[in-house]
Chains A and B, each alone.
Chain A
Amino acid sequence: MHKEPLALLPEICLLVGAVTTLLAGSFLPRERQWGARLVATAALVAAGITAAVALADPARTVYGGTFAVDTATGAVRLVVAAATLLVIGLGVDELAGTRRESETYALLLLGALGATVMGSTTDLLVLAVAFLLGSIPLYGLVGMLRSPGAAEAALKTYLLGALFGILLLLGTTVLYGLGGATAYAGLATGLEGAPVAALAVGLLGVLAGLVFKAGGVPGHFWVPDAAQAAGTPAAAFLTTVPKVGALVAVFRLVDVLPGSADWPLLVAVLAAVTMTLGNLAAFAQSDVRRLLGWSTVSQVGYLLLPVAVAGRTGEALPALLFYLGAYAVTNLAAFAVVAAVPDRRGLEESRGLATASPWLAGALVVALLGLVGTPPTAVFVGKLTVFTAAWDGGLAWLVVVAAANTVASLFYYLRWLAPVFRRPEEDAGDGGTRPFAAVAAVLAAACILGLGLAAGAVLPLLDGPLAR
């Protein structure tokens, strides 16, 4: 029994932060909720710092083998904390002074907590609970706007989440029955020689739940709707943070499965289908947030590449972690631009952005080209490592599919960029920009480039063993 509360310090920071934020918010008048924001920010910073400190610890599990403290956990914590901070940064303008400001922060923190736990746990039971912890704040965040669209998106997110949650529980049950344990360490041995058909049902159940969180096929239906209808910070959050936890969780799970069936092929096929669907569906969108929603679906496809070769090549884990970080900051940069110019929701309305606010246009260029994977942005290095890992793991065909998809994706990103640099229409009113979001956008764009250029320094840090 390794009960080491200190090992969970970042998570504790988040939880305490969530409670404190809510409490602080309930005592503060509506105009002065920046106090709650401060608390939330402080909690995230604290979580980040403690996570960074914990990186130095040796890889091990705590709490009876249910929670891994290793490189992957550290990366998830850091990425989640940083991403959530960015979300708060880009959402300040939209949230400040609203009725639900402090609740939003609390839910963001809880969602972040769910993502970290999900990415760090090595026990199916904790995973199931973490799924709930990750999902429930999302429903709240999606529906927060209370507009008809938001309500619809919340409904769909919720109903899909409930179904896939049940599938996750079903899978957990079956795997438990077959393996006699719920911790991965036990499963790794217990599942040896288990009947493949039953194992497949169990794995599929768990995988389905996690794919829902990640927003991949077949659990992707909620993503574009939520991205379109939810508030911008919520949309940014739910297309970014849950994926981080979910994909690492999938990685950990696939890593312990016995080789009695071709799991990698399944994941590879899902990856291919996901990226193709995301890209093809994004083509014709005219609402930038829906477009971004589909784009995140396609990104999940790329992110599944290293998962498909988990355990077959040592490069898979660092590739995944790096891509996650790169993706998070890039996606958030794009959303930050959207948040900064809330009036420009359609592609055509982006016209003349370069003239109106060149910095934002620059950030958008960096973000979108980053999503494409143009060097020297972070996602480029991510794609490079991911492609390399996939090829090394024997999935060269998937690399080709991914490359072809990348070309296809370029098309809709460029469709967004093209009007940005066109001259604005004469009578077009300038809706103005929101300062915090603009700063967040530029900051994130800088991070994209910085992370891309400093990839050499970051990548070795991500190369650590998985604790089981």
Chain B
Amino acid sequence: MTALLWALVVLPAVVGALLCGAGRRADRVAPAVAVGTAGLVLAAAIAVAVSRPAVSVPFLPGADLGLAVDALTAVVLPAVAAVTLLVLVFSAGEITGARGRFFGLMLLFEAAVALTTVATTLPALLFAWEVMGATSYALIAFSWRDPDRVGAGTTAFLTTRAADLGLYVAAGAALAGGAGLGLDRLADAGGPWLDVVAAGVLVAALGKAAQLPFSFWLSRAMEGPSPVSALLHSAAMVAMGGYLLLRTAPLLAASGWADDAAAWVGALTAVALGAVAVAQRDLKQLLAASTAAQLGYVVLAAGVAAVSGGAAHLVAHASTKALLFLAAGAWLSALGTKQLPALRGAARRWPVVGVPAAVGALSLAGVVPLSLWASKDEVLAVAREHSLPLYVVGLAGAALSAAYAGKVLWILWRRPPAAAESGYDTERPGTRQVGGLQQAPLGVLAAGAAVLGLLVWPPVGTAIRTALGETGLPRPSVLEMVLSAVLAVGVVLAVGRLPLPEPRWAAGWLGLGTATQVVAVRPVLRLAEALARFDDRVLDRSVTAAAVAVRGAAGGFARFDDRVLDRAVEATGTGGVRAARGAAVADTTGFDGAAEGVAAALRRLGDLLRRTQTGQLHQYYVQAAVVLAAALALLLLTR
């Protein structure tokens, strides 16, 4: 069975790497190979979910690469594998160019996700974690001729990596705290180190899960192809942020503050990003914001230690959101737009897409009896037990999700306007058709979106809770479930009647991206430029100046000197201009001035020394006499 566990990771990694390396030569076979591989991975995932193997190999000294399947993994892993398979099938119909690269990267990504889910040690986790980030970059920037998309990939990668620094720090702190690098033992870290570990893990997870304040990267990530959004930015990578917190829930609890922090960040994200989603006019943007909001519940679940509920929500959301993204992708390729106003009535035009999408939207809205309704209530029940305000905020988030899901639903199913065609083809020329490969996965995913609520109901839910050891947790009361169901249905219906507000702060993703630009990116770039100037002009020049000085000390050698002096003058000139523009180096003058002073002194000394060789004999005599007198004085004074 351990072989299967390995196969889970190695198979897609190797196949993916080969496809990438082969480039265009693999374009024809790539979809088939990738789908086949994903199928095998799914089979393996199911097999290991049942058999629960564990394995560990040496990796770093004192930090093995540990892989294992436990109850949590057994729930999440097959779901992710299944979604991957379905997305790949969809992609086979959607992606037309550079397929080798695309499917290779997708498989690499799958390998990374698989490793993330089964990792039991920090090195293994971080390994997969960072590869996810990198493949995400490569996939978002898949159409590299468009600078915007590459920039979006860069943003996504850098933002998540900034958060990933938390894991590096956590690793060091875990070592320092004596806990070792096993994920399950992190909570054993001693003293203040425990807080550092918890904080590190929390930051890393929040970054990946696009929670506040990192959410903005997900918005830009939507510039990638739709299957990428479906898999990476809803079902798998983003979800892994929540997954990590579920896995390390004991650590959060042990720290005494991180659990509350996670719960509140999750709840607030659910509300804030819910509002953002409501305000969006772009379908994919809306879905992206919704993803962050929904993952807020997973994070909330981790914060309140409702692991089973969180896992169920994660899986149900994966299915739902993948479905919606794929549907959006199908329309995008068919109609050439993802703007909601332009998509009015799209579901009617292609019911084969529209119906599954409707199921997904209803599930997202939390309408009875679909999956997200059940899983969300499962989480909220524990939250209420934890703190009432938390519950209220969570409920508000639920209302918002019903609002944006309703918005989508209504628009898609309204009658298309007469001039529908004029709104199409804003992004790219549409094909006006949805292929079979694109349709097939939608049905499966819709089924998932509908029934995955079973994960919280007996008997499956009970089995999972038992496996996870969550026996004493509160279950949602009937009242709560009715409340949320009524809320969802009510809001969805209301949305059909009332226009939704679209405040600018929400439409612009709370200004988080801009804020990051202003607070972090620009200052760093400024600093970098200032330092570079400092490096060129001060550090380097002081050395050069010393060289010039020593050389000047010797005088002569005109050519050399000319060149250097020329250049120094030139450099001073440009330096002056730039300094006038407000170079950030305040102490340039002092530092540089000192260097120049030393230089000048040395130069004078050198000239003086060489001037002693006058050619005048009597002056030699005098000098010799003076030196000897000095020597005599030295001898007599130091005895």
Which A residues are within 8 Å of any B CB, using their own CB?
155-156, 159-160, 163-164, 167, 196-197, 200-201, 203-204, 208, 217-219, 221, 224-225, 260-263, 265-266, 269-270, 276-277, 280-286, 408, 411-412, 415
Contact = CB atoms under 8 A, between A and B. Distances in A.
A196 B620 contact: no
B624 A218 contact: yes
Given A160-B620, A208-B628, A283 B551 contact: yes
Given A200-B632, A261-B635, A280 B606 contact: yes
B635 A204 contact: yes
Given A280-B609, A281-B554, A281-B610, A156 B635 contact: no
B625 to A, nearest CB: 8
Interface in B79-126: none
Contacts of A269: 631, 634
Given A204-B628, A261-B635, A286 B554 contact: no
Interface in B534-555: 547, 550-551, 553-555
Contact of B634 (A201, A224, A225, A265): A265
A261 B624 contact: no
Interface in B115-174: none
Interface bracket on B: 20 to 34
Given A263-B635, A266-B635, A281-B613, A208 B624 contact: yes
B635 A219 contact: no
B639 interface: yes
Closest 7 CB pairs of A and B: A283-B554, A284-B554, A284-B556, A218-B627, A261-B639, A200-B635, A218-B624
A204 B550 contact: no
22 contacts: A160-B620, A164-B624, A218-B623, A219-B624, A260-B639, A261-B636, A261-B639, A262-B638, A262-B639, A263-B635, A280-B550, A280-B609, A281-B613, A283-B550, A284-B555, A284-B557, A285-B554, A286-B556, A408-B550, A411-B547, A412-B554, A415-B560
A413 B219 CA distance: 62
B606 A262 contact: no
Given A261-B639, A262-B639, A280-B606, A156 B550 contact: no
Contacts of A208: 624, 628
B550 A411 contact: yes
A164 B627 CA distance: 13
B617 interface: yes
Contacts of A286: 556-557
B617 to A, nearest CB: 6
Nearest to B547: A411
Contact of B553 (A159, A224, A280, A415): A280
A156 B606 contact: no
Given A283-B606, A284-B551, 12 more contacts: A196-B635, A200-B636, A218-B623, A218-B624, A221-B623, A224-B613, A225-B615, A277-B609, A280-B610, A283-B550, A283-B555, A284-B554
Interface in B329-388: none
Contact of B636 (A197, A280, A281): A197
B628 A265 contact: no
B639 A221 contact: no
A203 B136 CA distance: 83
Interface string B413-428: 0000000000000000
Contacts of A197: 636
B514 to A, nearest CB: 52
Contacts of A282: 554
A266 B557 contact: no
Contact of A266 (B555, B606, B613, B634): B634
A8 to B, nearest CB: 34
Contacts of A411: 547, 550-551
Contact of B613 (A164, A221, A283): A221
Contacts of B624: 160, 163-164, 208, 218-219, 221
A167 B551 CA distance: 36
Contacts of B615: 225
A277 B610 CA distance: 8
Interface in B213-227: none
Q: Tell which of A160, A167, A282, A283 has the most Cβ of chain B within 10 Å.
A: A283
A208 B624 CA distance: 9
A346 to B, nearest CB: 11
Contacts of A159: 617
A97 B202 CA distance: 93
B613 A262 contact: no
Nearest to A263: B635
B613 A196 contact: no
A281 B609 contact: yes
A270 B632 CA distance: 12
Interface in B548-576: 550-551, 553-557, 560
Nearest to A259: B639
Nearest to B621: A163
B610 A284 contact: yes
B631 A265 contact: no
A196 B554 contact: no
Q: Tell which of A159, A280, A411 has the most Cβ of chain B within 10 Å.
A: A280
A415 B557 contact: yes
Contacts of B609: 276-277, 280-281
Contacts of B635: 196, 200, 203-204, 261-263, 266
Nearest to B605: A280
A372 B555 CA distance: 21
A196 B635 CA distance: 9
A263 B638 CA distance: 10
A262 B620 CA distance: 26
Contacts of B639: 196, 260-262
Nearest to B629: A204
Nearest to B611: A281
A10 B632 CA distance: 38
A156 B617 contact: yes
Contacts of A285: 554, 556
Contacts of A167: 628
Contacts of B613: 221, 224, 281
A281 B557 CA distance: 12
B603 to A, nearest CB: 10
Nearest to A208: B628
Interface string B282-302: 000000000000000000000
A260 B636 CA distance: 10
Interface string B7-30: 000000000000000000000000
Contacts of A262: 634-635, 638-639
A347 to B, nearest CB: 8
Nearest to B560: A415
A204 to B, nearest CB: 6
Nearest to A201: B632
Contacts of B634: 262, 265-266, 269
B526 to A, nearest CB: 37
A206 to B, nearest CB: 12
Q: Tell which of B624, B632, B636, B638 has the most Cβ of chain A within 10 Å.
A: B624
Contacts of A221: 613, 620, 623-624
A189 to B, nearest CB: 20
B608 to A, nearest CB: 9
Interface string B588-616: 00000000000000000110011011010
Contacts of B557: 283-284, 286, 415
Interface string B465-499: 00000000000000000000000000000000000
A270 B624 CA distance: 12
Nearest to B633: A200
Nearest to B619: A221
A263 B634 CA distance: 9
Contacts of B550: 280, 283, 408, 411
Interface string B495-515: 000000000000000000000
Contacts of B617: 155-156, 159-160
